[in-house]
């Protein structure tokens, strides 16, 4: 399978997608996945004709029906890349406090295991290869990396209790922390805030979460909802994909900021419950969560391609 282009070239996913980026005489190929089933790197051979400026790329191992046994491997690569991108985005937006916080992704082949960030790597430098596989018993598989023990207590229990959840995001973001001290649910002040209408809870603070029973309690309190405000602590979101969990966290942080600003300025007008519920059915849907994250993925995966490593 070959395609020829001058400079940059992209195809759609029906015909394995790739981009050729010209940098002087050096060329690099990237498979631009658009979901957790599509990894963002695929082996290819790239050649260039210096006289005509034409670039030719050939997939060194095209995807065929015989590649089906590799589905879990491809899904794992893609999911880890999306997870690394989530960390980069959280760092960009200042949604962290040192090494506190964690985002997880369930392994597609071993659903009782999940990928988590190591303490030693700053979120702004996170790569897919840096992520650590955690077993169901909380032990780390391979390597000498250490993980936040609070992450084990929270993520392992929520993922075990919620088979519908692929990813959990929790961080000590500034506006989320500020709002969490008030012990209140977010109000339906705006269309964006309606995404969380009747779909989040407030969870009481009992100190640093190190006991797995506390993680179980968080899962029980959340039920089937997508988010929790951890009192005097911060925000926590979940999703059926890394994209959803990450976007809901980013959005929820902004809703905390907006409500703090609105209430500081006066008495906000609330959207009525019926309209808020109808808006939530759209704005709070998994499809919207994935679509919103995809825009951010497109940006960060191009600007910081080393996260794919």
For the ranges 22-31, 160-169, 203-212, 249-258, the lowest mean pLDDT is seen at: 22-31
Give how far Cα 160 sits from Cα of 25, 109, 196, 219, 286, Å.
50, 15, 23, 9, 20
More confident residue, 222 or 141: 222
Query: Which DSSP category does 271 fall into?
Result: P
pLDDT of residue 49: 52
Identify the pLDDT of residue 104.
97
Of the candidate ranges 21-25, 29-33, 105-109, 229-233, the one whose mean pLDDT is the lowest: 21-25
Q: Tell me if residue 212 falls in helix, strand or coil.
A: helix
- Phi and psi at 12, nearest 5°, equal -90, 175
More confident of the two residues 8 and 307: 307
- Tokens 């994209």 belong to 243
Coil, strand or helix: which one is 242? helix
Among the listed residues 141, 116, 134, the one whose alpha carbon sits nearest the alpha carbon of residue 245: 116
Q: How far is CA 111 from CA 5, 70, 177, 305, in A?
A: 41, 16, 31, 28
Work out the angle between the directed axes of helices 71-92 and 242-265 (0-180°, nearest 10): 20
Predicted TM-score (pTM) of this structure: 0.81
pLDDT band of residue 33 (cuts 50, 70, 90) is low
Residue 226 has pLDDT above 80, yes or no: yes
Domains in the chain, please, with CATH?
2-63 (no CATH), 72-308 (3.40.225.10)
Cβ atoms of 41 and 26 within 8 Å: the answer is: no
Angle at 71 between CA 68 and CA 74, to 5 degrees: 130
Mean pLDDT score across all residues of the chain? 83
Q: What pLDDT does 281 receive?
A: 97
Please list the residues that pair with 229 across neighbouring strands: 202, 235
Q: Answer whether 215's CB lies under 8 Å from 236's CB.
A: no
Whole-number Å distance between alpha carbons of 56 and 48: 6
The pLDDT tens digits of the residues spanning 59-104 come to 444 333 333 445 899 999 999 999 999 999 999 999 999 989 999 9
Least confident of 24-28, 106-110, 191-195: 24-28
């Amino acid at each position: 399978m070959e395609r020829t282009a001058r400079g940059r070239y992209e195809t759609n996913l029906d015909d394995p997608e790739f981009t050729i980026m010209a940098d002087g005489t050096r060329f690099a190929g990237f498979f631009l996945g658009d979901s957790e089933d599509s990894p963002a790197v695929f082996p290819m051979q790239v050649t260039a004709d210096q006289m005509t400026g034409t670039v030719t790329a050939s997939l060194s191992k095209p995807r065929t029906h015989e590649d089906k046994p590799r589905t879990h491997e491809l899904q794992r690569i893609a999911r880890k890349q999306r997870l690394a991108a989530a960390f980069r985005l959280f760092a960009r937006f200042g949604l962290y406090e040192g090494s506190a916080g964690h985002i997880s992704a369930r392994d597609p082949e071993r659903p009782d295991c999940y990928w988590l960030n190591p303490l030693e790597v700053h979120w702004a430098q996170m790569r897919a290869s840096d992520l650590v596989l955690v077993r169901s018993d909380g032990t780390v598989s391979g390597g000498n990396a250490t993980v936040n023990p609070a992450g084990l207590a929270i993520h392992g229990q929520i993922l075990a209790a919620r088979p519908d959840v692929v990813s959990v995001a929790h961080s000590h973001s500034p506006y989320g922390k500020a709002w969490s001290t008030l012990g209140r649910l977010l109000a339906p002040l705006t269309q964006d805030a309606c995404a969380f209408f009747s779909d989040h809870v407030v969870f009481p603070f009992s100190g640093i979460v190190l006991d797995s029973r506390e993680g179980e309690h968080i899962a029980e309190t959340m039920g089937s909802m997508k988010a929790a405000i951890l009192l005097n602590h911060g925000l926590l979101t979940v999703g059926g994909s890394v994209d959803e969990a990450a976007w809901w966290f980013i959005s929820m942080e902004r809703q905390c900021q907006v409500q703090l600003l609105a209430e500081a300025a006066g008495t906000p007008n609330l959207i009525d419950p019926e309209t808020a519920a109808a808006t939530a059915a759209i704005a709070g849907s998994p499809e919207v969560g994935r679509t919103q994250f995809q825009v951010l993925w497109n940006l960060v995966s191009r600007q910081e391609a080393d996260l794919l490593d």
